[in-house]
Structure 1
Amino acid sequence: MTSRNDDALSWAGDDDPTLTPPIQAGSTGAAGAPGVENAERAEAPTVLEQAELAEDAKVEAELAAAEKASAQLSSAALITLGILGGVYLLYTIGWAIVVARTTVTFFPLDSLFLEICFRIGQFLSIAAAPLWFVSTLLLTQKRTWRSRLGWLLLGVFVLVPWPFIQGA
């Protein structure tokens, strides 16, 4: 019968013979010279050890990639995103004012299709700036900060509400 202290230091099933490592040739066994067995293992790693090392390397690479992907933006980058978001918001308001000022009368001979197309165009002119901003942020997640900034600056120049600026 084992003592209470020995029970604390062992797990159920520790004496299972299938869990003990096989005795290699040239070794004197578990009670013999353990240094000999470890020396043989160090010289020629087993397939299992090679697989474990490869798996460890793979996990380390995945961890490094995840840390790189989850890196936070710098303060300057966040401020720049905020300023550009404000510019896109102003563009949206500018296009909404242009659409509200626009009055177009369609002649009775014109088709309903033309009016529907015109209204869709007005809606898209208002929605273009926020759509560009959000889609740029979503589509450039895996790219560098410079490419994200480049696409956002391109949108700033492309989506200017010229009718509002010209006072039309």
Structure 2
Amino acid sequence: MSDDLDFYVRTATRGTVCGLGAGSLPTEWEPVLGGDYVDDARKGRMRRDYGLVEVSFLRREGEWRCATVSLQVHRLAWAEDVVPRRLREEYGEFRTHVPFASLAAGIAEAGFGLEEVGDSSMHGFTAFRISETSSVLHVARTPPGDGGPHHADDVWSLALSWSQ
């Protein structure tokens, strides 16, 4: 398995990015993924965008806590510098397209299954829940009509969620 696929498999099956996930604080993310991010805070919610990695926080009792993490894999086809330096150093170069079949094989090799999740609002995409986790893969079944460089059966995103 290539190093970037290893990153996706670890993230999907462990529910964390470099050991960070549910309940983590914004101050814990910067030492791990660096200071190159954009924060968008509104009404008790904050989204921290690192390019490939997006972290969402909810404000509870005066403190921001991580609620969800997502990997915006589709961005790799559009821009060159979306992978945080720490991830490039640890996993090497990231491919611009992640074939669903390759990631599914890595997830199966790690001992996890995939279950298709129906969602009629996701035209052109199929969602798969990873067994024993809250992770959901979104796969582009037909190339999106945006004229972009995406392929059918590419992984579009990976969402990690936890019940609060």
Higher share in helix: 1
TM-score normalised per structure 1 = 0.21
Q: Which has the larger radius of gyration?
A: 1
Higher share in strand: 2
TM-score normalised per structure 2 = 0.22
